[in-house]
Structure 1
């Protein structure tokens, strides 16, 4: 149980201060333990960071698959809704903030290890989107001439644009970019 509390506190510290700004003493203080007690559960800060990263990646994947399994919305509504949900998750959930910060700014000495996991998740997301596009293409006549590989990759690029604005642009700019990008993407696919 203490390991879970340590990871939860570490998540908040890493999400808000990055790897280098998070201290084990601050994490321990939030949990109500002394710093050396962390070492009973995690070998070092790197191991703790990677454990939090692993959980964040698993949660991102679970949320994405659960979202796209929902069949109550049209394909177009699903695509737009997923963009909106990513923004809302970032605004409301420290795990989403941590995940986004980590995927764009991994600690330099853990870069290769973290980016391997990031690209693995992105590849899985692209496969998930390809399946969604394939199913939509079979049901929606206006998508018949669509190259679904290009459409899925373009959607990932659209998500990346929203993520960059979340990190750098602030609330207003993110909202403007999300709406403008969706407007163009929607017109290209569904008009």
Structure 2
């Protein structure tokens, strides 16, 4: 039994039930240990949760940087739209991503400042990376330049926020409507300046 096993099981519990709904006793039972054994590896529930948060944040930044690295030569329209599709797919299939999004929406009250610091650092990093992609597309004439690269990246994150809301609350049909409408208006504004 290792801390990795505890973290793997805990991630599923926190992703599904949130901080308040995750029980160390249930986690220990699912791992096949006594609850007290968790304290050999973690100081408590907060310590375990915050380690998962750090890992999830690193995973999300790694996803974005890898996506950019492998897709940076694609036309910006394909790049941006596929990024949104990949975010949807990750939410469906990846417990770390589900945990990350759930935690960003529903941080535990007593850990709110720590969670939001991580979330805001992530958003700032993503926006910085997107600005470089959008600026390159503008420099190469793929996009107009009446809207600044910073505003275009911030608006794109607004679309991503709307999609995340529908992933958490809305369901597939509402998600598809939000994606289709938001994307078409965004791309029209960006490409017809």
Q: Which residues in structure 2 correspond to 1:10-159 (within 5 Å)? A: 10-70=10-70, 71-159=72-160
Whether 2:188 is the aligned partner of 1:170: answer: no
Residue 107 of structure 2 aligns to a residue whose secondary structure is coil
Instruction: Specify whether residues 110 and 13 from structure 1 end up closer, same or farther in structure 2 by C-alpha distance, changes over 3 A only.
Output: same
Query: Alpha-carbon deviations, 1:9-37, whole Å to 9, x = none?
Result: 11100000010100011111221111111
2:43 match: secondary structure = coil
After TM superposition, the score normalised by the length of structure 1 is: 0.96
Q: Measured at CA, do residues 142 and 125 of structure 1 come closer, stay the same or move farther in structure 2, by a change above 3 Å? A: closer
Q: Is the Cα–Cα contact under 8 Å of residues 76 and 142 in structure 2 kept in the other structure?
A: no
Q: Distance in 1 between matches of 2:31 and 2:140?
A: 51
CA distance in 1, matches of 2:12, 2:107: 16
Q: In 2, Cα distance between the equivalents of 1:13 and 1:156? A: 28
> Retained in 1: the 8 A contact 2:131–2:150?
yes
Taking the aligned partners of 1:142 and 1:49, their CA distance within structure 2 comes to: 42
Unpaired stretches in structure 1, ≥5 consecutive residues: none
Give the CA RMSD over aligned residues: 1.2
- The separation in 2 between residues aligned to 1:22 and 1:146, in whole angstroms, is 45
Change (3 A) 1:95 1:188: same
- Gapped regions of structure 2 (runs ≥ 5): none
In the superposition, the TM-score normalised over structure 2's length comes to 0.95
* Count of residues in correspondence between the two structures: 191
